[in-house]
Amino acid sequence: MRRILVLLPLAPLLVLAGTSSAGAVSPGPINLPAVQLVAQNACTGKAVPGLSATLSPTSGEVSPGPTQRAGLTHRWKTVAPGTYALILSAPGMVGIGGAGTSPISVEVSPGPSQLVANSFFQQGQIVSVAMVPTTIPPSPCFDLSAPTLPEMSGVVFDGKTRAPLASPGPISLSVPGEVSPGPISYPGGAFVFPAGAVAPGSGTLSVSAPGYLPLGNAAGGGVPVTCQPGPQQLPGGDSFSEGQAVVVGLAPG
């Protein structure tokens, strides 16, 4: 299957980072959806008609309920911290998961606590999925894999004025025992760590900027994040990728 690299989660963040004019006070970031799903037909690349998307709690949480849908994207605005099985079904498509279990596991973090004043951290999980038809596919069938999501995309703001920082850094994403790669930086405080940039597991995002206190508590130290293993192929021919979008506010030093 062909692999396609996209920066879907970064697009709205870049818009946020570029909306303030010189001398104006930016309204700052809006709340990110807790979970976003981008689902496409693996043959056509189009949206999956009649898609049912369910987050089934696997660690005792209450079901987050239905999604809001816009084009290819399904969104859950608020989801309690915990782990969830993402169950997908649609007429004429191979389903993914069922009966409360799924090969796609979504982990929603409770987020950091005791951040320094005038700082903030928001995080949203993103999943892309390519579903295959149950019958002979249309011709031509492009045999698409799920769009490869970056490990993390984000934007850094001034935590007090809510204006995007032009040149934040250094920024690192690290897992114990691994060397942290540097992110790809964009104008307006945006950054991306590509898929596979770090080993999967419990990691730490550290963000700083000249004249600002580093992200974290009074001692800095960053915030905990969970790094995903990268694109995955499923036995039924389906595939998926997971990533995360974050918005960071740093307190002036």
**Based on C-alpha coordinates, what's the Rg of the chain?**
19
- With CA atoms as reference, report the closest residue to 126 among 93, 103, 151: 151
Q: How many angstroms separate the CA atoms of 150 and 194, rounded?
A: 4
Task: Record the tokens describing residue 102, joined without a space.
Answer: 């799924």
- pLDDT of amino acid 29: 64
Task: Say if CB 119 and CB 30 are below 8 A apart.
Answer: no
- pLDDT of amino acid 136: 77
At 168, the amino acid letter reads: P
Q: Is the pLDDT of residue 5 over 90?
A: no
For residues 4 and 252, the model is more confident at 252
End-to-end CA distance of the chain: 49
Q: How many angstroms separate the CA atoms of 205 and 155, rounded?
A: 13
> Collapsing DSSP states into helix, strand and coil, what is residue 17?
helix
Specify the range with the lowest mean pLDDT, choosing from 51-55, 94-98, 135-139, 202-206.
135-139
- pLDDT of amino acid 7: 41
- pLDDT of amino acid 60: 82
> Collapsing DSSP states into helix, strand and coil, what is residue 232?
strand
- pLDDT of amino acid 250: 95
Q: Is the pLDDT of residue 62 over 80?
A: yes
Q: For the whole model, what pTM was predicted?
A: 0.86
> Collapsing DSSP states into helix, strand and coil, what is residue 224?
strand
- pLDDT of amino acid 30: 64
Helix (H) or strand (E) holding 15: helix 10-17
